[in-house]
Amino acid sequence: MRRSVITATGSYLPERILTNKELSEMVDTTDEWIVSRSGIESRHIAADDELTSDLATHAARAALDMAGLDANDIDLIIVATATPDETFPATATVVQKNLGMKGGFAFDIQAVCTGFLYALATADNFVKSGQVNRALVIGAETFSRIIDWTDRGTCVLFADGAGAVILEAAEGAGTSDDRGILTSHLHSDGEKHDLLYVDGGPSSTQTTGFLRMAGPEVFRHAVTNLTSVVHEALAATGLTAADIDWLIPHQANKRIIDGTGRKLKLSPDKVVVTVHKHGNTSAASVPLALDEAVRDGRIQRGQLLLLEAMGGGFTWGSALLRW
């Protein structure tokens, strides 16, 4: 059976670090409130002249370097982003040009914070169908551009960054011992639009708009949806939560991460956490956390990884893979 295996990872964070103390000078908040309610201590913010495509290109180059590949070895680029450089063309085509990739095809996926899971599942299907041998899957965001910096309920949470993986075709036996993506599960519920959305866009207001969120309602749905989509992945493969070596969750809020981990009865030392220093980087959060745990040696070949995320739409999803 044809499988797609993640053979390399990369990431990029803008140089500028914004601390809770600085935010407490901008809006009516405190370091104590932000840390206790979200777990976030600091986050990275893109420079004025840094675009989502720039962040994505840095992350992609790091992944290509790890794999020892050239951009022209890649058949497909997918960029998951809710903050594209322009309304069109796709940010992925800008990355294609930046990398000097002459063939193949590139497109964006928009599923907000679940974007990386949607992009990974899409690339996996292209690989499994035989249409693509190597894909570059990127999550990249400049959420600082759609934040209302006077809204203390959201401006303390979101941030900028990019993460990338290279997915390559490999032969597997069709069992859960195979390396590669074993199963992926995607969901959406358009009825929940008003709980998390951006109040602008080309067709509605002809402006970019600002992120609006009913935080406590999103929080409630997050733990429920994430736990259920993790169980769905385990049920599809006949594995149990005890088989998971690493949970790599969307980094929105430390309390959501802890709540999901507790429901799965996972020891906290099996959960990769970066939210304290990255904030919520939307589609970039899962590949950023993955890259960190790969590069510091926590993730080892043969281990079972569970990736999950939830975001605006609502959208939510999971991917279970063997490293």
Least Cβ distance, residue 250 to ligand UT7 (angstroms): 6
- Strand arrangement of the beta sheet that strand 2-12 belongs to: 2-12, 160-171, 134-142, 76-80, 105-109
Rounded to the nearest whole angstrom, what is the least distance from the CB of residue 33 to ligand UT7 in the complex? 4
Q: Looking at the DSSP assignment, which residues form a beta bridge with residue 48?
A: none
Nearer to ligand UT7, 126 or 158 (CB): 158
269 touches 99 (CB < 8 A): no
CA distance 307 to 305: 6
What the block records as the tokens of 81 is 């982003």
Q: Does 156 bind ligand UT7 (CB under 6 A)?
A: yes
Q: Which stretch binds ligand UT7 (CB under 6 A): 14-22, 135-143, 149-157, 271-279?
A: 149-157
Is residue 188 close enough to count as binding ligand UT7 by CB under 6 A? no
280 counts as catalytic: yes
User: Which tokens hold the place of 105?
Assistant: 């095809």
In angstroms, the Cα distances linking 129 to 74, 161, 182, 319 are 16, 31, 15, 18
Contacts to ligand UT7 from residues 246-265, by CB under 6 A: 252-253, 256
Taking a C-beta distance cutoff of 8 angstroms, is the pair 140, 55 a contact? Answer: yes
- 216 part of the interface to ligand UT7, by CB under 6 A: yes
Task: Give which of 306, 299, 304, 279 is closest to 9, Cα–Cα.
Answer: 299
Binding footprint of ligand UT7, residue count (CB under 6 A): 19
Could you say which of 11, 280, 315, 318 contacts ligand UT7 (CB under 6 A)?
280
Answer yes or no: are the C-beta atoms of 82 and 282 closer than 8 Å.
yes
Asked if residue 81 binds ligand UT7 (CB under 6 A), the reply is: no
Whether 113 sits among the annotated catalytic residues: the reply is yes
Does position 37 interact with ligand UT7 (CB under 6 A)? The reply is: yes
Binding mask 96-115 for ligand UT7 (x = CB under 6 A): -----------------x--
Determine contact, residues 53/96, Cβ cutoff 8 Å: no
Residue ranges that bind ligand UT7, judged by CB under 6 A: 29, 33, 37-38, 113, 152-153, 156, 215-216, 218-219, 222, 252-253, 256, 280, 310-311
